[in-house]
Amino acid sequence: SVAGARLKLALWYNQVNEAGFHSFNSVAASVFAHSTRILNFFNNRSTNASAETFNAKLKDFRAQFWGVLDIKFFLFRVAKIFA
């Protein structure tokens, strides 16, 4: 449940602060800043993992064809491979 996850996240955040690991401060601050979006996962169990995977594949494909000047052909290849 969202309430249980919120409690565990708050406990983790407190443990990080009390532990004194200064290297974790930025991680804890980022988790705290994005906690609402992180906890949204527990509402419907959905993530943007598929979009992130597609983005990574597209970046890799683009890196392989770096310097290609024919944009129409590039977009054609993207559509054929990933569509």
Six-digit token string for 28: 């804890």
User: Are the C-beta atoms of residues 12 and 38 closer than 8 Å to each other?
Assistant: no
The residue ranges of every structural domain in the chain are 2-44, 49-82
Q: Which amino acid is present at 14?
A: N
Six-digit token string for 71: 């944009």
User: Are the C-beta atoms of residues 66 and 33 closer than 8 Å to each other?
Assistant: no
pLDDT grade, residue 8 (50/70/90)? very high
- Pick from 29-33, 47-51, 63-67 the range whose average pLDDT is largest: 29-33
Sequence-distant (6+) residues with CB within 8 A of 42 are 1, 2, 5
Q: What is the pLDDT of residues 21-43, one digit of tens each?
A: 888 888 888 988 988 888 888 87
Q: Is the pTM of this model over 0.75?
A: no
The whole-angstrom separation of Cα 4 and Cα 65 is: 47
The whole-angstrom separation of Cα 17 and Cα 12 is: 9
